[in-house]
Amino acid sequence: MTTKPDFLLFAQHGWSDNGNDIGKLAQAISSPNNLVIAPSLGLLKTYWRIEPLVQAVEKLVRENLQQYPEIPWRIMGHSMGGLIWLEVLQRNPQWWEKVNSLVVIGSPIGGSDIARIIDPLGIGIGMARDLGKNRRSIAEKIAQQIPTISIAGDINGGSDGMVNLTTTKFNYCQFVCLSGIPHATLKRHPRLIPIIQDFWANPQIHHPPKSANLATKIIETLQAIPGMTDGDLRDFVKSQEKIKFSNGVSLHTWKNYFGVNHVFVADEQGNSLYAGYVGWLDAPQLKKVIEKIATWKN
């Protein structure tokens, strides 16, 4: 590129992957005068710890910042790639003013339930501990300052086959769910092209309603439990109603075969809005929170 680019487009791959597919998507979406930066961080390294990957991206950013100090950035990350960028941005708030927009694709913002099953106590079994971490508060802090969109796939009424829908949602971002697209395909699917281009044409910060409704309040209270992991909406059919408010919103619970406590929130029509679960150690805290929610009035 002989002239200065309009944007630096950082495109980051996720777990068990390289930069080829996400790089091709970035090239297909961007204009010729965007500089696409889609590094491969090392396939085997994606299985171990996220910290070296975050440091590698930070180093790459500094190198490009030195070469293009005045050029604004666009950022997109698939799966763990989105989490890597949340970590990078959290540690470097001085870079936020340079970021035009952030796109996370199939990223387990609230923590991967599969990772939590593999490493329920967070003791460090491979990458599971890092993928199971809840980064929703980090994402919401960033999205209040940087226009953000979260794109998720849904192939079975609750997940893209790897990442649950509930864990891809957070406040202050635009949310788009694409049916029929599995996790691995999201990073290269052509249906993403017009969605991201439209978002780039008018990037906006999506502010939640000033007065949250009862269901939203319940969900945010449950998500605030330290050990809460976003669960699978499909398990809602196994649950039993625990609390029903006069406006029709309800809270349901279910304990699976292993004694793990799940909780669900449903709207006035009985449609599940949220699913989550806690490990054995956090079960007493969940019980206290449910008892507190039971005292609320509409």
Residues in Cβ contact with 161 at an 8 Å cutoff, skipping those fewer than 6 apart:
153, 155, 182, 183
Q: What are phi and psi of 87, to 5 degrees?
A: -65, -45
- Model confidence at 1: pLDDT above 60: no
Among the listed residues 33, 24, 129, 121, the one whose alpha carbon sits nearest the alpha carbon of residue 83: 129
Helix, strand and coil in the chain, % to nearest 5: 40, 20, 40
> Could you read off the pLDDT of 107-157 as tens digits, one per residue?
999 999 899 888 877 788 889 999 999 999 999 999 999 999 999 999 998
The answer to whether the CB of 239 falls within 8 A of the CB of 247 is no
User: What's the pLDDT at 261?
Assistant: 95
Beta-bridge mates of residue 257: none
The pLDDT score that the predictor gives to residue 297 is: 74
Domain residue limits, the chain:
7-201, 214-293
Question: What secondary structure does DSSP assign to 245-296, as a single string?
Answer: -TTS-EEEEEE-TT--EEEEEE-TTS-EEEEEEE-GGGHHHHHHHHHHHTT-
Over the stretch 243-265, which tens digit does the pLDDT of each residue have?
999 999 999 999 999 899 999 99
Predicted pLDDT of residue 208: 78
Strand partners, 151: 105, 176
CB-count exposure of residue 283 (10 Å: 0-12, 13-18, 19+): middle
Alpha helices in 155-240 (DSSP H): 183-186, 192-201, 214-223
Cβ burial 102-130 (10 Å sphere, 16+ → b, else e): bbbbbbbbbbbbebbeebbebeeeebbbb
Give whole-number Cα distances, 31 to 6, 7, 25, 56, in Å. 9, 9, 12, 26
Q: How far is CA 226 from CA 110, 142, 170, 215, 269, in A?
A: 11, 20, 16, 20, 29
At residue 281, the pLDDT reads 87
Give the pLDDT score at 3.
81
Per-residue model confidence (pLDDT) at position 123: 81
Residues 10-33 have a mean pLDDT of: 96
What is the Cα gyration radius of the chain?
20
pLDDT of residue 211: 56
- Tens digits of residue pLDDT in 217-231: 999 999 999 889 999
Superfamily of domain 7-201: Alpha/Beta hydrolase fold, catalytic domain (3.40.50.1820)
Question: Is 70 exceeded by the pLDDT of residue 166?
Answer: yes
167, with CB counted inside 10 A (0-12, 13-18, 19+), is: buried
d(CA 107, CA 105): 5
What's the pLDDT score for residue 226?
A: 84
The pLDDT of 101-107, averaged and rounded, is: 98
Answer for the pair 14, 35: CB distance below 8 angstroms, yes or no.
no
Given this model, what pLDDT does residue 244 score?
Answer: 95
